[in-house]
Amino acid sequence: MRNIVILLGLLVIGAVGFLFYQDKSEIPVAEKETSVTKVGFVYLTTPGDHGWTYAHELGKQMVEKRFGKDVKVSVVENVPEGPDATRVIRELAKGGNEIIFTTSFGYMDPTLKVAEEFPDVKFEHITGYKRSKNVATGNIRFYEGRYIQGVVAGLMTKTNKIGYIGAYPIAEVIMGINAFAQGLRSVNKDATISVIWANTWYDPVKEADSAKVHIAEGADILAQHTDSPAMLQIAEKEGALGFGQSTDMSAFAPKAQLFASINNWGPYYIKKIEELRNGKWNTGDGPDHWAGNVWGGLKSDMLIISKFQNMPDEVAQKAQEALDGIKTGKINIFAGPLIDNTGKEIIPAGKALDDGALWGMNYYLQGVDGKVPG
Amino acid sequence: MITFIPRDKVSKNWIIIAPILSIVFTIFFGLLIFAFLGYNPLETLYQIFVSPFSRIDRIGDILVKACPLIIIGTGLMLCFKSNVWNIGAEGQFIMGALLAGFIALSFPNIETKFFLLITILAGFVGGALWAFIPAILKTKLNVNEILVSLMLVYVAMLFIDFIVRGPLRDPMSFGFPLSKPYPEGALINKIPFPGIGFLGQLHFGILFVFLLVPISWIYVNKTLGGFKINVLGSAPLAAKFAGFKQNSITITVLLLSGGLAGVAGVIEVSANIGQLQPEVSFGYGFTAIIVAFLGRLNPVGILFAGIIIATVKLGADNAQMTMGIPKVVTGLFEGILLFFLLTGETLQKYKIKWSEGKK
């Protein structure tokens, strides 16, 4: 009884609101103004001021700045990776959005499901590997930044122990660890990396605990493939050094951050929206393995390295050399000979791993302690 | 110092007036907050409360969202009525989904929908077994069931995480923690309406809710088992004198609520996800606790409470899509709504007494 009253009450109040306010949200696709492109974004969390989603938020802001009144952006944040995602993506498609960016791996199947129902809407799924006629994928070569981190870590470490915090033992994280190891060993053959798995992308408490364990075990340089600034804050307090993730985190740890690898989604968003407006949007004609048709790194400015700080000039110079080397293609991070940490040869000298092989990584290269779980 | 004293008699009028007052207060403070933050207050209210009903497919989506909440909430109702505090429905949900998923993935070619009966049964067993742990610890060793059931949530979360990263991982998933897709026979389809098509994601699992609500109502109000639960909760001594076995009631309600949470897990995964992934529940097990209390531990009330909570959640998404209101603001509003609804109910039953001096 009471609940029926509540429900009716809410409806009545809402209906009163309706009398004063006419809904403008549901413009059918056919009536849309021709020059304005409606763009939808789905975020995993609230953007906050650091980390993964914030990087996407900055990209979205670049879109708004670039197109001004020509685009109308709708954002839904805090969308769990399940049935809610399907519903939200469908609502965005129904709301007349012509291109929808879904910015987390777990939106893969929901995006494909909705894309099937809306063949005229374009979808861009971030970090996924499944595509269809109107679903393209985009990703960043995060591992390139980690190579430079390895170079800096190898030159800066005094204890020769590097503490690495990983989110989950999936290929993307493992290739980052291995790229770090390649950078590390290019300047320092004695240093080793030990990995702690946080089993989360974002949990400041767990990340801080992992950082404390690393420091207690003698690590003086910390690296992370998780999202919060907690690790750097611990490093700052304990006098260790580390690297920022996704966005510049020097504000959280001005004395501890050596540099940050910054995800720069803006140019990719702008390019895809521009393609759509010119009628040239496509899902790419690259090789159809899962790396996606947009997989950009330092060269295409999708990955940016922040200012080198808290390090001597010689180290900064070496880091700059590594950065330039990757950009020009002089450095191939996964060029042979590659030997895994059990001594097995992965690939001989003269050859290099291709993109597909990167996504199959389930081993550590030399320089990393332990073995991949699972 | 504030003390709450039960009222001798709950006024019939106030049963109607209290919720209305609660809503008026909610709306008032909501308007205030939205206006203060610079959003059009009326448009916001429209988006939160009415826009979820503004299209027929959106109503379908409300039911989809409410479905697991109502199923779990109904199970929790049995526990809470008998003063058994099962806080771990989230874990039971996961274990139900996991056991059912294991069986579904063991028969990759099955197509007949009768297979669903088996997976749903498996879900019930999975959830019930998980709830059996706090049940047996409470009845044999007098261990607090709140702690045990809550802690087992985290065990369940890590367990499903382990399973989808290890034994049940799809070898074609590039190392990502996903199982293979379920076979056709283990999927719950969307309901096709002739002439309309699908209503959002509305699926056949909703039929279970429509069965469950009347059955649980009859069980609670018209059977001896339900009577025992009621007596044990409201007058434990009387239950003892009447010779009701407290332990067996405790075990029964925990098994039932765990089982129902498990079934909710199966329905959610089979209808909406179609494979196992590290996260299958999104706080349903915890939200359902609110639903059970908002529905006043009454099956029909829980049905409506589930719909109210689902509506506000969907409305919050709509408000964000059309007006750009951040989730934190609509979350604040949800909090205000629940605060006033539960305050209204409490004040119906209790008088407040202010006593001075002593701390």
**pLDDT for the residue numbered B167:** 87
**pLDDT for the residue numbered A27:** 46
**pLDDT at A31 > cutoff 50:** no
Whether this model's ipTM surpasses 0.90 comes out as no
**pLDDT for the residue numbered B129:** 97
Q: How far apart are CA B92 and CA B260, in angstroms?
A: 9
In Å, how far is A174's CA from the nearest CA of chain B? 10
User: Residue B339, exposed/middle/buried by CB under 10 A (0-12, 13-18, 19+)?
Assistant: middle
A23–B51 CB contact, under 8 Å: yes
Contacts for B12 with CB less than 8 Å, ≥ 6 apart: none
Confidence of residue A17 (pLDDT cuts 50, 70, 90): low
Predicted confidence (pLDDT) per residue in A326-344, tens digit? 999 999 999 989 999 999 9
Mean predicted confidence (pLDDT) in B273-279:
89
If asked whether residues A77 and A97 sit together in one domain, one would say yes
**pLDDT for the residue numbered A105:** 87
Phi and psi, residue A75, nearest 5°: -125, 140
Query: Which structural domain, as residue segments, surrounds residue A83?
Result: 35-140+265-296
User: Residue A35, exposed/middle/buried by CB under 10 A (0-12, 13-18, 19+)?
Assistant: exposed
The helices-and-strands tally (H runs, E runs) of chain B is 13, 4
If asked whether residues A119 and A208 sit together in one domain, one would say no
In Å, how far is A18's CA from the nearest CA of chain B? 6
pTM confidence score: 0.80
**pLDDT for the residue numbered A195:** 96
Residue of higher predicted confidence among B30 and B76: B76
Note whether A357 contacts B: Cβ–Cβ < 8 A.
no
Strand order in the sheet with A99-102: A71-76, A37-42, A99-102, A122-126, A135-140, A294-296
**pLDDT for the residue numbered B338:** 84
**pLDDT for the residue numbered A82:** 83
Question: In the structure encoding, which two tokens stand for residue A162, read together?
Answer: 């590097």
Three-state helix/strand/coil letters over A337-361: CEEECCCCEEECCCCECCHHHHCCC
If asked whether residues A216 and A342 sit together in one domain, one would say yes
**pLDDT for the residue numbered A128:** 83
* Cα R_g (chain A), whole angstroms: 23
**Domain annotation covers residue B173:** yes
**pLDDT for the residue numbered A28:** 47
If asked whether residues A219 and A272 sit together in one domain, one would say no
Phi and psi, residue A124, nearest 5°: -125, 110
Phi and psi, residue B178, nearest 5°: -140, 145
Confidence of residue A324 (pLDDT cuts 50, 70, 90): very high
Domains of chain B: total? 1
Predicted confidence (pLDDT) per residue in B46-62, tens digit? 888 888 998 888 899 99
Chain A, chain B: beta-carbon pairs less than 8 Å apart: 162
Mean predicted confidence (pLDDT) in A198-206:
88
B296–A169 CB contact, under 8 Å: no
Question: In the structure encoding, which two tokens stand for residue A356, read together?
Answer: 């597909």
Predicted confidence (pLDDT) per residue in B111-167, tens digit? 898 999 999 999 999 999 999 999 999 999 999 999 999 999 999 999 998 899 888
**Domain annotation covers residue A368:** no
Q: Which residue(s) pair with B351 in the sheet?
A: B5
**Domain annotation covers residue B305:** no
**Domain annotation covers residue A337:** yes
Q: Which of B165, B318, B327 sits opposite A46 (nearest CB)?
A: B327
**pLDDT for the residue numbered A132:** 86
If asked whether residues A52 and A180 sit together in one domain, one would say no
A6–B22 CB contact, under 8 Å: yes
Q: How far apart are CA B319 and CA B44, in angstroms?
A: 6
Domains of chain A: total? 2
**Domain annotation covers residue B29:** no
A5–B165 CB contact, under 8 Å: no
Question: In the structure encoding, which two tokens stand for residue A127, read together?
Answer: 């970090």
Residue B219, number of CB atoms within 10 A of its CB = 18
**Domain annotation covers residue A4:** no
**pLDDT for the residue numbered A264:** 94
**Domain annotation covers residue A87:** yes
**pLDDT for the residue numbered A18:** 58
In Å, how far is B275's CA from the nearest CA of chain A? 10
**pLDDT at B84 > cutoff 70:** yes
User: Tokens 């025992």 belong to which residue?
Assistant: B228
Q: How far apart are CA B136 and CA A342, in angstroms?
A: 47
Residue A34, number of CB atoms within 10 A of its CB = 5
Confidence of residue A2 (pLDDT cuts 50, 70, 90): low
Note whether B53 contacts A: Cβ–Cβ < 8 A.
yes
When mean pLDDT is compared across A123-137, A208-222, A287-301, B172-186, the lowest value belongs to: A287-301
> Strands A257-263, B197-203: parallel, antiparallel or unpaired by DSSP?
unpaired
Instruction: Give the helix/strand (H/E) hosting A294.
Output: strand A294-296
Give yes or no for a contact between A245 and A149, defined as CB atoms under 8 angstroms apart.
no
Predicted confidence (pLDDT) per residue in B87-120, tens digit? 999 999 999 999 999 999 999 888 898 999 999 9
Q: Which residue(s) pair with A163 in the sheet?
A: A194, A222
Predicted confidence (pLDDT) per residue in B287-316, tens digit? 999 899 888 889 999 999 999 999 998 998
CA B331, B337, B340, B342 torsion-angle sign:
negative
Note whether A18 contacts B: Cβ–Cβ < 8 A.
yes
Instruction: List CB contacts (< 8 A) between A75 and chain B.
Output: 320-321, 324
When mean pLDDT is compared across A275-289, B132-146, B320-334, the lowest value belongs to: A275-289
In Å, how far is A190's CA from the nearest CA of chain B? 30
Q: Which of B50, B296, B305 sits opposite A18 (nearest CB)?
A: B50
Confidence of residue A92 (pLDDT cuts 50, 70, 90): very high
Q: Which amino acid is at B322?
A: T
Give yes or no for a contact between B281 and B91, defined as CB atoms under 8 angstroms apart.
no
Exposure string of A222-252, with b = 16+ CB inside 10 Å and e = fewer, is bbbbbbbbbbbbbbbeeebbbbbbbbbbbeb
A105–B16 CB contact, under 8 Å: no
Instruction: List CB contacts (< 8 A) between B43 and chain A.
Output: 17, 21
**Domain annotation covers residue B77:** yes
In Å, how far is B111's CA from the nearest CA of chain A? 21
If asked whether residues A231 and A335 sit together in one domain, one would say yes
**pLDDT at A15 > cutoff 70:** no
Q: Which of A21, A95, A169 sits opposite B43 (nearest CB)?
A: A21
If asked whether residues A135 and A68 sit together in one domain, one would say yes
**pLDDT for the residue numbered A30:** 46
Helix B299-323, helix B284-294: angle, nearest 10: 120
- C-alpha pair distances (Å), B250 with each of B37, B85, B254, B318, B335: 48, 10, 6, 42, 32
Instruction: List CB contacts (< 8 A) between B52 and chain A.
Output: none
**Domain annotation covers residue B277:** yes
A83–B268 CB contact, under 8 Å: yes
Q: Which amino acid is at A117?
A: E
SS3 B352: strand
What are the DSSP calls for A235-280, one per residue? HHHHT-EEEEEES--TTT-TTTEEEEEEE--HHHHHHHHHHHHTT-
Q: Which of B45, B65, B165 sits opposite A14 (nearest CB)?
A: B45
B322–A74 CB contact, under 8 Å: yes
Note whether A25 contacts B: Cβ–Cβ < 8 A.
yes
Q: How far apart are CA B203 and CA B334, in angstroms?
A: 27
Instruction: List CB contacts (< 8 A) between A92 and chain B.
Output: 321
Q: Which amino acid is at A128?
A: G
In terms of Cα–Cα distance, which of A298, A295, A300, A304 is closest to A359? A295
Predicted confidence (pLDDT) per residue in A224-260, tens digit? 999 899 999 999 999 999 999 889 999 999 999 999 9
If asked whether residues A277 and A209 sit together in one domain, one would say no
Give yes or no for a contact between A156 and A361, defined as CB atoms under 8 angstroms apart.
no
Contacts for A22 with CB less than 8 Å, ≥ 6 apart: none
**Domain annotation covers residue B356:** no
Mean pLDDT in chain A? Answer: 88
**Domain annotation covers residue A161:** yes
SS3 A41: strand
**pLDDT for the residue numbered B1:** 75
Note whether B92 contacts A: Cβ–Cβ < 8 A.
no
Instruction: List CB contacts (< 8 A) between A88 and chain B.
Output: 317, 321
Confidence of residue B23 (pLDDT cuts 50, 70, 90): confident
**pLDDT for the residue numbered B160:** 94
If asked whether residues A128 and A156 sit together in one domain, one would say no
Percent of chain B with pLDDT over 70: 99
B49–A10 CB contact, under 8 Å: yes
Mean pLDDT in chain B? Answer: 89
CA B118, B119, B121, B125 torsion-angle sign:
positive
For residue A227, give the CATH number of its domain.
Answer: 3.40.50.2300
Residue B243, number of CB atoms within 10 A of its CB = 6
**Domain annotation covers residue B120:** yes
If asked whether residues A336 and A292 sit together in one domain, one would say no
If asked whether residues A133 and A166 sit together in one domain, one would say no
Residue B290, number of CB atoms within 10 A of its CB = 18
Percent of chain A with pLDDT over 90: 64
**pLDDT for the residue numbered A283:** 81
**Domain annotation covers residue A288:** yes
Instruction: List CB contacts (< 8 A) between B316 and chain A.
Output: none
Which of B168, B291, B317 is most worth mutating to test chain A (most A CB atoms within 10 A of its CB)?
B317
**pLDDT for the residue numbered B357:** 59
Nearest CA in chain A to B201: A87
Nearest CA in chain B to A10: B49
Nearest CA in chain B to A88: B317
Nearest CA in chain A to B40: A21
Predicted confidence (pLDDT) per residue in A135-180, tens digit? 998 899 999 999 999 999 999 999 999 999 998 888 889 999 999 9
If asked whether residues A249 and A277 sit together in one domain, one would say no
Contacts for A231 with CB less than 8 Å, ≥ 6 apart: A165, A207, A208, A210, A211, A222, A224, A242
